[in-house]
Chains A and B, each alone.
Chain A
Amino acid sequence: MPPTPSEGQTKASSPGGASSFFTVPPPIKKLFDKFPLATYPANDLPQRSPTRQHENQLFVFSNAAAARRGRPSFNPQCLKWQAYLKFVGIDFEVTPSNNHASPTGSLPFLIPAQPVEIADAIPSHKLQKWAIEQVHCEEEQQLNLRFEVYASLLDHRIRNAWLYMLYLNDHNFEAVAQRLYVEPATSNTIVRTALAVQLKQAARDELLRTSKYIDVADLEGDAVNAFEALSSLLGDDDHFFGRPNPGLFDASVFAYTHLILDEGMGWKQNRLAPLLREHQNLVQHREKLLRFFA
């Protein structure tokens, strides 16, 4: 490989070059030999930084009070994994965080407790594999061919309606997104404004990627269809695909249904909630799963 010889060359050539040009004059050398005059002990870590944890740490969007009590995160992607880990029975602590803290640039990620030497952050797309290794649960995608197909409803149709409702509806943005995402990030008004504009622009770009203009009626119509399809898929069962215990798909559905129906979010205009309430089995599904967080 080319890098190795070139590194070798610089090593070989630099001492020779340095000695001919930069011989430090003795008085200056004497002066600098006195440094450092005093060495202070290393600073302690900030108090809120975790001591060597004995539990798995899941980093999600949340606030300190809710995180301490293990309440659901307010971000659908984070809530999905938070719920999944709860459902399969892995113990973990929730730590409020933001995207800048994550090695991949997006939340959630998890730092496992044991063994300490290989405690590397696990990004969200590897969480399922990690959970399967820990508790030997099933990889649900393999069991039913409809898993991926119905998951696309959540990843596209419901997500698009969600993006519109949270970011592009101005009343909701001020009441919900501003409070949850923008205000905890900084107290500076200018930075807050910039952050808010960026968030909205990102949501708009995401929606305009698949269509030429944003049609609100279309987005809601798609969400209605998606709820209808999910409701028929669930039927009278307790969990999706007739499983005895809730799993990844239940977690994905719960992540949206809970946040849409949650009174604590403070929605100003929540058009999706009445549409979702038409499907009572989805509402009951959400209520049942909410008990995991009690």
Chain B
Amino acid sequence: MVLQLHVWGPAFGLPSIEAHCLATIAYCSVALPKGSWEVVASSDPSVSPTGELPALQNGAVWVSRFRNIVDYLRQYSNGAWDLDQQLDDTCRADNIAFSSFIESRGQSLVDLYLYVTSQNYYRNTSPAYGSLLQWPNQWILPPQLHSAAKDRTEHLGLSSLDLQAMEDQRQRDHNAAVAAGKIPKNLIQRPRDTVSSLLGRTAQQNHFRIEALTGEFFEPLEAMLGRKAYLLAADADDTPSSIDCVALGYLSLALVPEMAFPWLRDAMRAKAPLLAEYTERMRQRCFGEAPVDIAHVFSPESAPESPLTWRAPARISVAAVGSTLLSTLADSTPFLREIRRNNSLKKAAQSEDAGLNYMEKNMANIITDSSKKDMLVSIAAVVGGFAALVGYAVHTGILSREEDEEEEDVEVMYNPGTVADMLASGK
């Protein structure tokens, strides 16, 4: 039985565009004998029942997420495919702590680098997704991933890397000023900063913030690696452990891609030269000497010899397209989105391999059911309130005089515009 690893497709010369997928590919490439597994660049989370990539398929069994796949491979092979079995207690602890560290810090940095930084997203990441996704996902998934990455990094306060958000902010301020045309002049708050002054100021702050973030991430890793071949290696002929694969996933995304604004790569080369060298070495060992070419991935017959065996992803079916479109539509409808989110918890609890006993499953169901009840109550409240409003409007006869009022509105709308124009030219 050949195991199939479904991943996000290749980009920037790496076998995948996503860090967890890179980590999983690296793990399989080191732990599994060649020929026992193959990579499928399906790039569509809906292929797996868990709705996540990377996902390992063994016949009817699907396992997703890096750590679950590692656990599954160990059980499946009775302990033969396990990179961590030679680790002692201290190393095991380090293995767990460093992977938590790399996943949390590395994910923020990669999000900032590939998605939030506008130049990089629009010139590199977005086109890369365009070439690896099939229709219609190439129109649907990148914006979703983009906004998810923005959400994840919001707390870092580096949104000024995001030129789009700054433009939106400026637009909002402008609209506020237009609305303010109705307000007496001396009540308007003082003029907001112009874009160039904002850019000039925040570029400095950004610089310090990025320096701090990259330093916090690279320095412990560089110190841990030292002159060793691998992060947890005790002597020269040790093999990599799972932490090396996790590290490769994030570090290769920092080091390898050619970006329009390569701040992360520059920081890595300046702060952690040993780590950069190690990443390059690991990359060649796990992913092959030559950069991965996207054409070879989709037609594997023509591919040259490499450590990875590719299988062309299945053509996307009409049913899959339909379900993708429907779920996208549902996700952008306010109440349906909430229902779907609650279902995501429920599905996880009900799936066979979740490892919960009966009582807990029951409990998780109660939770999701009760939050569904909350939502139904809120829907009912909104609908009821709206009906009451409409009823009241009809009762007092507001709705019957619609046409007259529309004309008045046009005139009122005109005035603030001209006032705002005057304000704008006065600045």
Spell out A's residues near B (CB within 8 Å): 2-3, 6-7, 10, 14, 145-146, 148-150, 152-153, 155-157, 168-171, 197, 200, 204, 208-218, 221-222, 225-226, 228-233, 269
- From residue A164, how far is it (CB to closest CB) to chain B in Å? 10
Inter-chain contact B366/A233, CB cutoff 8 Å: no
Tell me if B315 counts as interface (CB < 8 A to partner A): no
A-facing mask of B79-115, CB < 8 A → 1, else 0? 0000000000110111011101101110100000000
Tell me if B172 counts as interface (CB < 8 A to partner A): no
Q: Which residues of B contact A221 (CB under 8 A)?
A: 67
Q: Which residues of A contact B68 (CB under 8 A)?
A: 218
Task: Give CA–CA (A249, B97) in the complex, Å.
Answer: 14
Task: Give CA–CA (A171, B175) in the complex, Å.
Answer: 47
Q: Which residues of B contact A211 (CB under 8 A)?
A: 52, 65
Task: Give CA–CA (A170, B152) in the complex, Å.
Answer: 26
Inter-chain contact A156/B51, CB cutoff 8 Å: no
Closest to A13 in B: B186
Inter-chain contact A214/B366, CB cutoff 8 Å: no
Inter-chain contact B363/A269, CB cutoff 8 Å: yes
Closest to A157 in B: B100
Task: Give CA–CA (A233, B92) in the complex, Å.
Answer: 10
Task: Give CA–CA (A204, B90) in the complex, Å.
Answer: 34
Task: Give CA–CA (A156, B96) in the complex, Å.
Answer: 12
Tell me if B171 counts as interface (CB < 8 A to partner A): no
- From residue A15, how far is it (CB to closest CB) to chain B in Å? 12
Q: Which residues of B contact A231 (CB under 8 A)?
A: 93
**Contacts A156-B100, A216-B348 given; does A204 touch B341 at CB 8 Å:** yes
Inter-chain contact A171/B363, CB cutoff 8 Å: yes
Inter-chain contact A3/B190, CB cutoff 8 Å: yes
- Of the listed stretches B217-225, B286-294, B394-402, B414-422, chain A binds B217-225
Q: Which residues of B contact A6 (CB under 8 A)?
A: 190-191
Tell me if B238 counts as interface (CB < 8 A to partner A): no
A-facing mask of B323-349, CB < 8 A → 1, else 0? 000000000000000000100110111
**Contacts A218-B65, A229-B96 given; does A212 touch B344 at CB 8 Å:** yes
Task: Give CA–CA (A158, B348) in the complex, Å.
Answer: 20
Lowest 4 CB-CB distances: which A-B pairs, in order? A213-B344, A232-B93, A229-B93, A229-B96
**Contacts A14-B186, A169-B367 given; does A212 touch B52 at CB 8 Å:** yes
Q: Which residues of A contact B105 (CB under 8 A)?
A: 152
Closest to A141 in B: B216
Tell me if B360 counts as interface (CB < 8 A to partner A): yes
Q: Which residues of B contact A218 (CB under 8 A)?
A: 65, 67-68
Inter-chain contact A145/B224, CB cutoff 8 Å: yes
Of the residues B151, B344, B364, contact of A216 by C-beta under 8 Å: B364
- From residue B212, how far is it (CB to closest CB) to chain A in Å? 12
Tell me if B370 counts as interface (CB < 8 A to partner A): yes
Q: Which residues of B contact A222 (CB under 8 A)?
A: 67, 100
Task: Give CA–CA (A152, B103) in the complex, Å.
Answer: 9
Tell me if B257 counts as interface (CB < 8 A to partner A): no
**Contacts A145-B224, A153-B96 given; does A197 touch B374 at CB 8 Å:** yes
Tell me if B356 counts as interface (CB < 8 A to partner A): yes
- From residue A65, how far is it (CB to closest CB) to chain B in Å? 32
Tell me if B45 counts as interface (CB < 8 A to partner A): yes
Chain B interface secondary structure, helix, strand, loop or mixed? helix
Inter-chain contact A226/B344, CB cutoff 8 Å: no
Closest to B68 in A: A218
Task: Give CA–CA (A7, B186) in the complex, Å.
Answer: 9
Given contacts A155-B104, A216-B356, 17 further A-B contacts (CB under 8 A): A6-B190, A152-B97, A152-B104, A168-B367, A170-B367, A212-B45, A212-B52, A213-B50, A213-B52, A213-B344, A215-B354, A216-B349, A216-B364, A228-B96, A231-B93, A232-B93, A233-B97
Of the residues A2, A168, A216, contact of B354 by C-beta under 8 Å: A216
6 A-B contacts (beta carbon < 8 Å): A155-B104, A156-B104, A211-B52, A213-B347, A213-B348, A214-B344
Tell me if B299 counts as interface (CB < 8 A to partner A): no
**Contacts A10-B186, A145-B219, A216-B349 given; does A150 touch B97 at CB 8 Å:** yes
Of the residues A7, A171, A217, contact of B356 by C-beta under 8 Å: A217
Inter-chain contact B152/A210, CB cutoff 8 Å: yes
Q: Which residues of A contact B366 (CB under 8 A)?
A: 170
Task: Give CA–CA (A231, B51) in the complex, Å.
Answer: 34
Of the residues B92, B93, B97, B354, contact of A217 by C-beta under 8 Å: B354
Q: Which residues of A contact B157 (CB under 8 A)?
A: none
Of the residues A3, A149, A169, A228, contact of B101 by C-beta under 8 Å: A149
Of the residues B65, B93, B107, contact of A233 by C-beta under 8 Å: B93
**Contacts A210-B152, A213-B347 given; does A226 touch B96 at CB 8 Å:** yes
Tell me if B371 counts as interface (CB < 8 A to partner A): yes
Closest to A224 in B: B96
Of the residues A149, A150, A210, A215, contact of B348 by C-beta under 8 Å: A215
Q: Which residues of A contact B374 (CB under 8 A)?
A: 197
A-facing mask of B178-206, CB < 8 A → 1, else 0? 00000000100011000000000000000
User: Which of A216, A221, A225 counts the most B-chain CB atoms under 10 A from its CB?
Assistant: A216
Tell me if B355 counts as interface (CB < 8 A to partner A): yes
Task: Give CA–CA (A2, B423) in the complex, Å.
Answer: 14
Inter-chain contact A214/B97, CB cutoff 8 Å: no
Task: Give CA–CA (A135, B374) in the complex, Å.
Answer: 50
Of the residues B98, B103, B345, contact of A214 by C-beta under 8 Å: B345
Inter-chain contact B93/A170, CB cutoff 8 Å: no
Q: Which residues of B contact A216 (CB under 8 A)?
A: 348-349, 354, 356, 360, 364
- From residue A147, how far is it (CB to closest CB) to chain B in Å? 9
Closest to B151 in A: A209
Inter-chain contact B101/A152, CB cutoff 8 Å: yes
Closest to A150 in B: B97
Q: Which residues of A contact B355 (CB under 8 A)?
A: 217
- From residue B47, how far is it (CB to closest CB) to chain A in Å? 14
Q: Which residues of B contact A200 (CB under 8 A)?
A: 371
Inter-chain contact B65/A209, CB cutoff 8 Å: no
Inter-chain contact A3/B191, CB cutoff 8 Å: yes
- From residue B51, how far is it (CB to closest CB) to chain A in Å? 6
Q: Which residues of B contact A215 (CB under 8 A)?
A: 65, 348, 354
Q: Which residues of A contact B67 (CB under 8 A)?
A: 218, 221-222
Q: Which residues of A contact B345 (CB under 8 A)?
A: 168, 204, 213-214
Q: Which residues of A contact B101 (CB under 8 A)?
A: 148-149, 152
A-facing mask of B281-321, CB < 8 A → 1, else 0? 00000000000000000000000000000000000000000
